[in-house]
A = this chain, B = another copy of it.
């Protein structure tokens, strides 16, 4: 009794959990293969048998960390909805060290097109459906033109938030900046003629 050895997906999950913990505690730079192995109670062999490099493991852990999808808010007004969406994204990005993680991953994936493509999908498409839902309702209410559904336009708010993280590097964007983005840029843009 006792000497049970984990195999397959059970071990895989344990490794991923350990990687997520390392990631949230110390960011991408602090995620080491030895560290994950130790924390998962295994060794590097088991990791390298599943992920070819530190970067791919970190990406897998990041996707795990992102976790479950949210539901589109429905506050009754367009402004309330988009503000709620932006706050949600901000909460997500400001979690322990997400912005640092993403930056690290981006830098690591810079010279690996395949990895970059996967990362792109994980970052960009996260929650883009929510925005389209909210904007779509506003269009059918006649509140804004359907031009607003163009991806380039619809994603402006989240792009500006992302930019805020990149350039400011703060751990959380204050609420009044979110409001500024919505009231000074996003809503005027959505409501602009043609």
Rounded to whole Å, the gap between the CB of A119 and the closest CB of chain B is 8
How many copies altogether?
2
What residues of B have a CB within 8 angstroms of the CB of A156 in the complex? Answer: 156, 160, 185
> Any chain B CB within 8 A of the CB of A46?
no
* B27 close to A167 (CB less than 8 A): no
* B184 close to A192 (CB less than 8 A): no
* A116 close to B185 (CB less than 8 A): no
> Any chain B CB within 8 A of the CB of A95?
no
Q: A160-B156, A160-B159, A169-B120 are in contact. Are A27 and B110 (CB under 8 A)?
A: yes
Judged by DSSP, the binding face of A is helix
Interface locus among A4-12, A59-67, A81-89, A101-109: A101-109
What residues of B have a CB within 8 angstroms of the CB of A152 in the complex? Answer: 180-181, 184-185
* B167 close to A124 (CB less than 8 A): yes
CA distance in complex: A194, B162 (Å): 25
> Any chain B CB within 8 A of the CB of A141?
no
CA distance in complex: A153, B181 (Å): 9
What residues of B have a CB within 8 angstroms of the CB of A153 in the complex? Answer: 184-185
Rounded to whole Å, the gap between the CB of A158 and the closest CB of chain B is 9
* B100 close to A110 (CB less than 8 A): yes
* B110 close to A169 (CB less than 8 A): yes
Q: A163-B159, A181-B152, A194-B188 are in contact. Are A110 and B103 (CB under 8 A)?
A: yes
> Any chain B CB within 8 A of the CB of A28?
yes
What residues of B have a CB within 8 angstroms of the CB of A160 in the complex? Answer: 156, 159-160, 163
Q: List 13 A-B contacts (CB under 8 A).
A: A28-B107, A99-B110, A106-B166, A109-B169, A120-B168, A123-B167, A152-B184, A156-B185, A159-B159, A159-B167, A163-B166, A185-B189, A189-B192
